[in-house]
Chain A
Amino acid sequence: MSSLLGVPLVLPPTAVGFLMLKLFSEYGWLGGILSAWNINILLNWKAVILAAGVMSFPLVFRSLKIAFDSLDRELLLYHQSLGYSPLHTFIGLVVPLLKYPMFAAFLLGFTRALGEFGATVSIAGNIPGKTQTLSSAIYSAGQGGNDNAAYMLMAFSLVIGFASIFISEILAGNTKLEKK
């Protein structure tokens, strides 16, 4: 299961997009069932979220797994032996211990989702005001010769990108300090 969900990390995004287009085809079986329940995914905001989620999930999952693996299992057992429920252990112990790597993992997922293009355009299209993302807006502006808009959007993504790297470096520094 974890390797199946990890596939989007190694497949070209357009391949994932093509697969999802066929899977959620409203004339196909899965998309057909969903649209019978009035859940239409293709070419609207749901497809944008789905594409971004599927494409960034493996990165988030992998980073979180590394963080969880680094936990001392005995510590968790001690905590539960004091009578705490697993949920309580998670919220009271695991989350505070791993808050930085967890935030870093979500940041990684966020930036990956922001950069998603291939899968998003395949299933959500590039509809201004509806399913257009930062990536596809830059693409549209660039190909239409609207260089000024493309430069503006690029500058905006640079700011977000740098901010994310900066924050994640600080977080990485923090985790190192805590280990000492």
Chain B
Amino acid sequence: MAILRVLSFLSLIWLGSACDKEKKSEEESNSNIPVLQVYAAASLLDVLQEMAPLFESKYQSKLDFNFAGSQILARQITHSLGADIFISANPYWIDEVELLGRMVEGTRKEVISNSLTMVASAASEQNVFSGVEKLCQANFEALVLADPNYVPAGKYAKAWLEAVDCKEASAWELWKDKLVPTQDVRQVVNLVKEKQGAVGVVYGSDVLASEGLKILIQPDAQNYPAISYVAAAIKKNDIVSSASHFLDFLQSDEARALFLKHGFRSPKNNTQS
């Protein structure tokens, strides 16, 4: 009886995967439009969704997105063959993918930059920090960051807090016990909006993308490592030529304008400052 159950379960899985294959081959034969699988950092969600129709109509191709923390995407890419393009919110996870031989060499491109912002819920009683001194005196219950061990937004945020000198210790040392780590930067926004006494550090673009946030302080760009979104083509069995089109498109003036509209910063400005 138990064996029957296991067998029927396995056959269901097999049926499911067979259906999947049929669907795929149908899609391929029905249209010659190439489909690009784009694995992109969670913070790029809004801007890339607005950008997709522009690219799709210009290059007669289709973009499929997979948004998550860059570390999750890097993990998925090194374990599967799905992705054509990877856009990481820092160079680190592209390096990892390259080290494991999954990156198409010579395709790495710096796309855009961003800024850091400390936020709380718009309904929060937390006062705006007028400067580093006020920031050091801050009293809150939870410091919500994308997990600083893995997630780019959290790594940048931790680097900034470590550089904030609060006399005896850095702001990071003062607050690390209050850390609430999340899987990606958008989850920081979700939690900060509902939790009293919580502050979070997110990208400047996230503040534009979400309602109900109050900006507490915007640190100077010199005080944290330059935020760098890096894109690269990923090795796959069937080579999609439009991958390089998309990489070029990401650096085009058209795309740049959209990035800036969504609160991103151009990489040059950041390195100058």
Closest to B71 in A: A143
The verdict on B180 contacting chain A, using a C-beta distance below 8 Å, is: yes
Contact with A along B120-131 (1 / 0, CB 8 A): 010110000000
Contacts of B182 in A (CB 8 A): 125-126
Q: Does B191 contact A (CB under 8 A)?
A: yes
Q: How many A-B residue pairs have CB under 8 A?
A: 59
- Would A143 and B150 count as touching, CB distance under 8 A? yes
CB-based contact B194/A26 at 8 Å: yes
User: What residue of chain A has the Cβ atom nearest to residue B194's Cβ?
Assistant: A25
A149: min CB distance to chain B, Å = 12
How far is it, in angstroms, between the C-alpha of A26 and the C-alpha of B141 when the chains are bound? 13
Cα(A24)–Cα(B194), bound, Å = 8
Enumerate B146-172 residues with CB–CB distance to A below 8 Å: 147, 149-150
* Residues of chain A within 8 A of B183, CB atoms compared: 121, 126, 139, 143
Q: Is A109 an interface residue (CB 8 A)?
A: no
Binding site secondary structure of chain B? mixed
A residues less than 8 Å from B190 (CB atoms): 21, 122
Q: A43-B198, A125-B180, A126-B182 are in contact. Are A143 and B72 (CB under 8 A)?
A: yes
Task: Compute how far the CA of A142 lies from the CA of B121 in the bound complex, rounded to whole angstroms.
Answer: 31
A126 CA to B191 CA in the complex, in Å?
A: 12
Nearest A-chain residue to B198, judged by Cβ: A43
Instruction: Assess the A21–B194 pair: CB atoms within 8 A.
Output: yes
Q: Decide if A163 is an interface residue (CB 8 Å cutoff).
A: no
State which of B121, B147, B149 has its C-beta within 8 Å of the C-beta of A27.
Answer: B121
- Is A96 among interface residues, defined by CB-CB distance under 8 A? no
Asked if residues A142 and B75 are in contact (CB atoms below 8 Å), the reply is yes
Which chain B residue shows the least CB distance to A140?
A: B147
Is B195 within 8 A of A127, CB to CB? no
* Beta-carbon nearest neighbor of B72 in chain A: A143
Residues of B within 8 A of A143 (CB): 69, 71-72, 75, 150, 183
Residues of A within 8 A of B198 (CB): 43
Give the distance in Å from the alpha carbon of A113 to the alpha carbon of B191 in the complex.
22
A142 to B147, CA, bound (A): 13
Interchain nearest-CB distance for B166 vs A (Å): 23
Residues of B within 8 A of A140 (CB): 147
A76 to chain B, nearest CB (A): 33
Q: Which residues of B contact A63 (CB under 8 A)?
A: none
In B188-219, which residues have CB < 8 Å from any A CB? 190-191, 193-196, 198
Known interface pairs A28-B194, A40-B196, A43-B198; A145-B75 also in contact (CB < 8 Å): yes
CB A36 to nearest CB in B, in angstroms, measures: 10
> Can you list, as one digit per residue, whether each of B68-107 has a CB less than 8 Å from chain A (1) or not (0)?
0101100100000000000000000000000000000000
Q: Determine whether B267 belongs to the interface, using a CB cutoff of 8 Å to chain A.
A: no
CA distance A144 to B72 in the complex (A): 8
Asked if A22 CB lies within 8 Å of chain B CBs, one says: yes
CB-CB under 8 A from A26, the residues of chain B are 194-196
> Does residue A157 face the partner (Cβ distance < 8 Å to B)?
no
Q: Which residue of A lies closest to B212 (CB)?
A: A27
Of B121, B142, B193, B194, most A-chain CB atoms within 10 Å: B194
Binding site for B on A (CB under 8 A): 21-22, 24-28, 31, 35, 40, 42-43, 121-122, 125-128, 139-140, 142-145
Listed A/B pairs (26) with beta-carbon separation below 8 Å: A21-B190, A21-B191, A21-B194, A25-B193, A26-B194, A27-B121, A27-B123, A27-B124, A27-B193, A27-B196, A31-B194, A42-B191, A42-B194, A43-B142, A43-B191, A43-B198, A122-B190, A125-B180, A125-B181, A125-B191, A127-B179, A127-B180, A139-B183, A143-B75, A144-B147, A145-B150
**Residues of B near any A CB (own CB < 8 A):** 69, 71-72, 75, 121, 123-124, 142, 144, 147, 149-150, 179-183, 190-191, 193-196, 198
**Given A21-B190, A22-B194, A42-B191, 10 new contacts (CB under 8 A):** A27-B196, A28-B194, A43-B142, A126-B182, A140-B147, A143-B71, A143-B75, A143-B183, A144-B71, A144-B149
Shortest beta-carbon contacts, A-B, top 9: A25-B194, A26-B196, A27-B123, A144-B150, A42-B195, A125-B180, A143-B72, A127-B180, A21-B194
